[in-house]
Structure 1
Amino acid sequence: MERILRAARQYPMVAWTLIAGAVVLGLLAMGLPAPAQWTATGYVAVIVVLTAVDMVRDVMRGHWGLDILAVMAMIATLAVGEYLASLIIVLMLSGGEALEDFAAGRARHELTALLDRSPRRAHRLSGETVEEIDVDELRVGDLLLVRPSEVVPVDGELQYPIARLDESSLTGESLPVDHVRGDAMMSGALNGDLAVRMRATAAAADSQYQQIVSLVAGAAASKAPTVRLADRFALPFTAVSVAIAGIAWWLSGEAVRFAEVLVLATPCPLLIAAPVAFMGGMSRSAQAGVIVKGGVVLESLARLRAAAFDKTGTLSQGRPELVAMYPVEAMEEDELLHLAASAEQFSSHVLASSIMRAAAARGMEPASGSEATETATNGVRAMIAGRDVRVGKLSFIQELDPGAQFPALSFGETAVAVSVDGTFAGSLVLRDGLRPEAPSTVSTLRASGVEQIAMLTGDNAATAQSLASEAGIQEVHAQLLPQDKVRLLGQMPHPVMMVGDGVNDAPVLAAADVGVAMGARGATAASESADVVILRDDIGRVVDAVDIGRHTVRVAITAIWIGVVLSVGLMVIAAFGHIPAVAGALTQELVDLACILYALRARRGGRSSRESAGGEGVR
């Protein structure tokens, strides 16, 4: 009973329509047809007025709504005495919201499952004492106990010899992943059979899973481009429906034919099927480890004509290795590396972590620094032990020392320049290999009809060209500043997609019709500039996103056409008097159901990566 009352409060018009219907049927059962007709007519007339007011407001705003068909059908059925059919139409319209909520709930299953799994409690260790606390109370450095089959509450570092984690809700990877002591543990991963200890490296609000939850919540609340889809069909569908109804009335001479046709022209398939399909598409992409921020993004992916890729951390593996050092005569290699690593601790760039790893491998601890500033795409500056250290692009160092020069580089190598107290101190040479899935990603996009594919990078031309050739990209633009990338992107066919790391590429990601951020490593998962965030460190998921977008739009359009074709076919039959008004109204409910069930196909389908597997430092 409580559930019924809750539903009635949530959908009051459905409740009132059911009550009105019960009263009308009761009066008919008592042999009182006249009061039954008055009751139904009065109730439907109120609904007609309310719906018409909203419809007029929409028309005044320039939006031709589909509600006009419902209003005409209700008026026509009342005019010819088919008051039961008019009640069914009201129930169909008022129940449309409930039906859409139910279907959307099914469609967003994977999205809501991700939200429901959000960790809320954690076990903090104080000596050997275990304290259960809210995840929001955790602080960086806390030692935590994660019990078997528990969700990792925050990002951290494993303090146990081994752990096996299910990361499928984060990355789409179906198999458990083994980790050893010192490995990073992502919040939201599901622990295996062993109780393990971990050290928190981020607060709850800054952890990977909570950032993903924020993205998902935004995606789930976004509006699909259903108004535009419905508008494409609204005017012609309305015109065809009224024409069939009018011709049927004219040829038969019976006004009831007009009503019998219009009850089959209600617009629920156009208004409900498309949003359900788009929500299903977002849910399907989340299942594949890709968060899509709204139905508009899916529609842009479906119409994609061009794609551009950043190099470092996008087409490349993002873990460059230090292969050579070239200090000036007055500088030792170890001193050069130590100063560079000390400054790079203040940088978020992928090359910074590579330099710090190289220093750590030689037993060097970064020195403390102050007055640190990072210039996006150029480099970082910091005061290290009283010395002004700059690390970054050659042009960044040449601002202070115009004579700075890089050594000769082999294909695939990237150099980082270092200056100390305004004087060029040397360069570090790194090499970053191509992602193994990059060539197949590029070839699949090209085969799917993407007209233009390019690399846009701030790296030197030789390195960029070498990696692009391996990936199968012919068009390469190197040594670019952020504004250069935005300008070149604007010259490509639209809709255009830009794939980058979500931090250094924020301006061009925001400028693209579809900005895709590789967010697997945590720092970019909440990138506000991206429309799509890939949770797994796999560029092949770009193909998944495009394929799911196309599949979703295909399903949405097909669901609408199913509704249109079935409705028009039934209207033609009704025009010859073979479908009474009450039967027609009930039949239209079946048409709605068929469209919505088809729209739910967007939750399935769309290629998965598993199925399809077949210079100057960039800053």
Structure 2
Amino acid sequence: MRRSIRQTDVMTRVAGLALRFWPVTLTIAVGLAGIILAFLGASWLVPWLFSAYSLAVAGWQAVGMVRAMLRREFGLDILAVTAIVSTVLVGEYIAALLVVLMLTGGEALEAYANQRAKRELDALLSRAPQLAHLAVERGYRDLPVSEVNVGDVLLVRPSEIVPVDGVLLSAETTFDESSITGESIPVEKHAGDAVLSGVVNGEAAVEIRATETAAGSQYQQIVALVARAAESKAPVVRLADRYAVPFTIFALALGAVAWSLSGDPVRFAEVLVLATPCPLLIAAPVAFIGGMSRAARNGIIVKSGGVLEQLSAAKTVVFDKTGTLTHGAPAFAGVRSEPPFTADEVLTLVGSVEQYSSHVLAASMIAAAQDRGLPLHEAEDAREAATNGVVARVLGREVVVGKFAFVAEHAPDARRTKIGPGQLAVYVAIDGAYAGALMASDPLRANARATLQRLEALGVRQSMMLTGDAVQTAQHVASELGITRVRAECLPADKVAEVAGLAERPVIMVGDGVNDAPVLAAADVGIAMGAKGATAASESADAVILVDDISRVAVGVGIGRDTVRIALQSIWLGIAISVVLMLIAAFGFIPAVAGAIIQELVDLATILAALRAVGGRLDNRDSAVTASQRGRTVAETKH
């Protein structure tokens, strides 16, 4: 199966190359035929051969040009067609063939440059898992990944791609997550850890239990975003298209003036062979595809080239707090027990009770008890009061854990404990008596402040935080990070209104939760922290960060600025060179044949200049979170 798939891929690539380069090959073949005819003494046939072939290509291009005009799309085809026809009419048949070679070669170079620029995007698309190995009664059965159901047990063989999101059932293994996160160091996983689709298994076969179908899994969602991104067209590309009309008018006018002043129609042809379409047709698309590919290599999926342009010009960044500037999972911070209860006694009973709770804090309380070596007991009975707390009987004692008001109903002597900025308290009553409180906090991301400083250095001068948390907590976090504008206790609609009212635009909004989806869609650029699978936020955002690393926001802005700069540099540099050469040709200093050859070099230089947007390996490597750091962060979050 794998061999046949590889053979199919090779055949597809060969067919694609043949389709892409056959016009160039045919043009070169015509040129070689002319040389052979000249050596055989039939040189009189060469002008007819070159001219007929060139006019045939011009006619084909003219058909496409007329069709585009009927769609009200005006491009640079008229320059190419006019240059071919004019060189044939003035007897410069070798120059005519070179213009055809320039035209067909430019299209082939554009296709190659696009392929080179979007190779990271293509890599994500081509690696999409197709088959899964389903555990059945007597072994495993292959089935299409689209038929995997939640709860299915799947085998992942060594070096295979994980087909769907799941939970690791085997004791341990390592996964290569570089295709998703850009992190080259393999990540260790243990039984019970979440596993994302698209990562590559290590050297041991393992089993996972599917937690999502293929359509809902991380990698398939990434593939959908990438496919949408690859088809997009950036505003700067459309702007380049609009340059076509004035550039065409200028070239034709300059050629006409040169002809008029010199009285020689050859001057008209000499000017037009240097009127390059490449800076406009190729530079901007190649640069933007390269920028999107560079972003994908850094763990950022940008849904369109236009997003890169907006990122490059951004003036304001707005952050959600929980899960964005903080880790989003409150960590256990300590026990404040009330005599006669001891801290270990309270934590033992709370850890036992929290086994029956679905609250986000439950896992951290259980883990805190286990880390201290405290035993966890089964409850004789337990019931959870939604949004309030849990009541359970453990070792014959009634234990109540939850909000202050809920605990106070069971323990009249309960009193509030002092809460510091960024902290929260979980209150405890044992047998009707107040036993104390457990403290928790949601720690800031270690690189959050550095990210804000980097954004400011990139020109994003204004920063703001929007959160549903209390004012005191929000202001504490903002002061720690140097954010001056804060709006606390926000509902989703409030966030949308705040972003809409900002004057310094474009505005970047960074969030991670379902409640951030509306404001991500409303911002000029919505960036979703998608590492935790916030599907609604990812769908409404313009860019998705695939790793749990906020520094990638600054990386994305940097890539946007570089991409736009390189695109515009390539466009204007190419146009400037062409204009200078056209002016020189207008005075008769560049023959048509030499001009056509020079023009090939200008086209190649333009493409190479645009390819700079692809960049190197990883941007801002030092600020990226390594696999081991991510592991520690997750552990700290749990505990």
Task: Indicate the TM-score class for this superposition, using the shorter chain for normalisation.
Answer: 0.7 to 0.9
Kept after mapping to 2: 8 A contact 1:93/1:268: no
Q: Does 1:476 align with 2:489?
A: no
Counterpart of 1:354 (choices 357, 361, 367) is: 361
Report the counterpart of residue 518 of structure 1 in structure 2.
529
Match of 1:43 in 2: 56
Identify the residue that residue 85 of structure 1 maps to in structure 2: 95
Which one of the candidate residues 607, 611, 616 is aligned to 2:622?
611
Does the CA-based 8 Å contact 1:274-1:599 persist in structure 2? yes
Match of 2:434 in 1: none
d(CA) in 2 for partners of 1:380 and 1:588?
A: 74
Cα deviation, residue 290, structure 1:
0.7
Question: How far apart are the structure 1 equivalents of 2:184 and 2:18?
Answer: 41
Partner in structure 2 of residue 197 of structure 1: 207
Q: How far apart are residue 522 of structure 1 and its match?
A: 2.1
Q: Give the alignment partner of residue 600 of structure 1, picking from 608, 611, 620.
A: 611
Alignment of 1:535 with 2:542, yes or no, is no
Q: Residues 99-248 of structure 1 correspond to what in structure 2 (within 5 A)?
A: 99-126=109-136, 129-231=139-241, 233-248=243-258
1:598 deviation in Å? 1.7
1:507 and 2:514 are equivalent in the alignment: no
Q: CA deviation at 1:52?
A: 4.4
Question: In 2, Cα distance between the equivalents of 1:34 and 1:117?
Answer: 51
Q: Helix, strand or coil for the counterpart of 1:497?
A: strand
Equivalent AA in structure 2 for residue 518 of structure 1? M
Structure 2: how far apart are the matches of 1:317 and 1:229? 41
Q: 2:467 is matched with which residue: 447, 457, 464?
A: 457
Following superposition, the deviation at residue 51 of structure 1 comes to: 4.4
Residue 494 of structure 1 pairs with residue 505 of structure 2? yes
Distance 1:128 1:4 in 2: 42
Q: Which residue of 1 aligns with 2:397?
A: none
1:587 alignment partner, one of 577, 585, 598? 598
Query: Shift of residue 99 of structure 1?
Result: 2.6
How far has the Cα of 1:582 moved from its partner?
Answer: 2.6
Structure 1 alignment gaps of length 5 or more: 327-331, 346-351, 373-378, 382-391, 395-404, 418-426, 615-619
Q: Is the 8 A contact 2:352 2:377 kept in 1?
A: no
Q: Does 1:572 align with 2:583?
A: yes
Contact 2:125–2:226 (CA<8 Å) still a contact in 1? yes
Equivalent residue for 2:5? none
Go from structure 1 to structure 2 and tell me whether the alpha carbon gap of 1:31 and 1:481 turns closer, same or farther (over 3 Å shift): same
Identical residues among aligned pairs (%) = 53
Deviation at 1:212, TM superposition (A): 1.4
Deviates more, 1:470-479 or 1:309-318: 470-479
Q: CA deviation at 1:87?
A: 4.0
Q: Give the 3 Å change call, closer, same or farther, for CA 262–184 of structure 1 in structure 2.
A: same
1:602–1:333 Cα change, 3 Å? same
- The 1:592–1:603 alpha-carbon spacing in structure 2 relative to 1, beyond 3 Å, is same
How far apart are residue 239 of structure 1 and its match?
4.5
Cα distance, 1:451 vs. partner?
A: 2.3
SS at match of 2:155: strand
Q: Tell me the equivalent position of 2:407.
A: none
Q: Can you list the C-alpha shifts for 1:129-149, whole angstroms capped at 9, x where unaligned?
A: 233333233222233332222
Distance in 1 (alpha carbons) for counterparts of 2:89 and 2:569: 35
1:285 aligns with 2:292: no
Shift of 1:113: 1.2
Partner letter of residue 300 of structure 1?
Q
Q: Evaluate the alpha carbon distance shift between residue 120 and residue 607 of structure 1 in structure 2; reply closer, same or farther with a 3 A threshold.
A: closer
Maintained 8 Å contact 1:159/1:182? yes
> Which residue matches 1:385?
none
Whether the 8 Å contact between 2:50 and 2:96 is mirrored in structure 1 is: no
Aligned-partner Cα distance in 2 for 1:582–1:380 = 84
- Equivalent residues of 1:269, 1:592 under 8 A apart: yes
Farther off after superposition, 604-613 or 553-562: 604-613
Letter in 1 for 2:554: V
Report the alpha carbon displacement of residue 575 of structure 1 after superposing the two structures with TM: 2.2
Question: How far 1:335 moved relative to its partner?
Answer: 12
The Cα of 1:245 is off from its aligned counterpart by 2.5
Aligned to 2:340: none
Checking the alignment, whether the CA contact within 8 Å between 2:274 and 2:581 is kept in structure 1 is: yes
Deviation track 1:564-617 (CA, whole Å, cap 9, x = no partner) reads 122122223322323222332232122111111221111115972323569xxx
Aligned to 2:412: none
**Residues 1:523 and 1:227: Cα distance change in structure 2 (over 3 Å):** closer
Are 1:44 and 1:86, in contact at CA under 8 Å, matched by a contact in 2?
no
Instruction: Give the Å deviation of 1:324.
Output: 9.1
The Cα RMSD (Å) is 4.1
Please, which of 447, 456, 459 is the counterpart of residue 437 of structure 1? 447
- Distance, in Å, in 2 between the alignment partners of 1:226 and 1:94 is 25
What is the match of residue 456 of structure 2?
446
Amino acid at match of 1:509: L
The question of 1:313 aligning with 2:323 is answered yes
SS of aligned partner of 1:206: coil
One-letter amino acid of the structure 2 residue matched with residue 47 of structure 1: W
Amino acid at match of 1:538: D
Q: Distance between the aligned counterparts of 2:88 and 2:403, measured in 1?
A: 77
| Partner Cα distance (2:145, 2:79) in 1 | 52
SS state of the match for residue 587, structure 1? helix
User: Kindly tell me: are residues 406 and 278 of structure 1, through their superposed partners in 2, closer, same or farther at Cα, counting changes over 3 Å?
Assistant: farther
> Which of 277, 281, 291 is equivalent to 1:271?
281
1:146-194 deviation line (CA, Å, top 9, x unaligned)? 2222222222222222211111111111211112221111111112222
Residues 140 and 36 (structure 1), Cα distance of their counterparts in 2 relative to 1, 3 Å cut: closer
What CA deviation, in whole Å up to 9, does each residue of 1:69-96 have, x standing for no partner? 3243234323323344334434433454
Quote the offset at 1:416 in angstroms: 9.7
SS of 2:132's equivalent? strand
Q: Tell me by how many angstroms 1:301 deviates.
A: 0.7
- 2 CA distance for matches of 1:364 and 1:515? 46
Matched position secondary structure for 1:353: coil
Segment drifting more, 434-443 vs 601-610: 601-610
Matched, 1:57 2:70: yes
So what's the TM-score if we normalise by structure 1? 0.80
1:455 offset after TM fit, Å? 0.3
Q: Distance in 2 between matches of 1:111 and 1:4?
A: 20
Native 8 Å contact 2:291 2:560 kept in 1: yes
1:282 to partner: Cα distance: 0.8
Deviation at 1:410, TM superposition (A): 2.3
Q: 1:211 to 1:52 in 2, by over 3 A?
A: closer
User: What is the CA deviation profile of residues 361-381 of structure 1, one whole-angstrom value per residue up to 9, with x for unaligned ones?
Assistant: 7778998999x9xxxxxx899
2:45 maps to 32
Deviation track 1:326-376 (CA, whole Å, cap 9, x = no partner) reads: 9xxxxx999999999989x5xxxxxx5335654797778998999x9xxxx
Query: What is the Cα deviation at residue 56 of structure 1?
Result: 3.4
Give the corresponding residue for 1:556: 567
- 1:556 counterpart letter in structure 2: A
Q: Judge conservation of contact 1:229–1:274 (CA < 8 Å) in 2.
A: no
Q: 1:501 to 1:339 in 2, by over 3 A?
A: farther
Contact 1:306 1:496 in 2 (8 A): yes
Matched position secondary structure for 1:157: strand
Moved more, 228-237 or 505-514: 228-237
| Deviation (angstroms), 1:125 | 3.0
Specify the code of the residue in structure 2 equivalent to 1:550: R
Q: Specify the SS of the correspondent of 2:84.
A: helix
Which sections of structure 2, spanning at least 5 residues, go unmatched?
1-10, 337-345, 370-375, 390-401, 405-414, 428-436, 626-639
For residue 480 of structure 1, give the secondary structure of its aligned residue in structure 2. Answer: coil
Determine the C-alpha separation between the residues in 2 that align with 1:606 and 1:470: 33
Larger gyration radius, structure 1 or structure 2: 2
Q: How many corresponding residue pairs?
A: 568
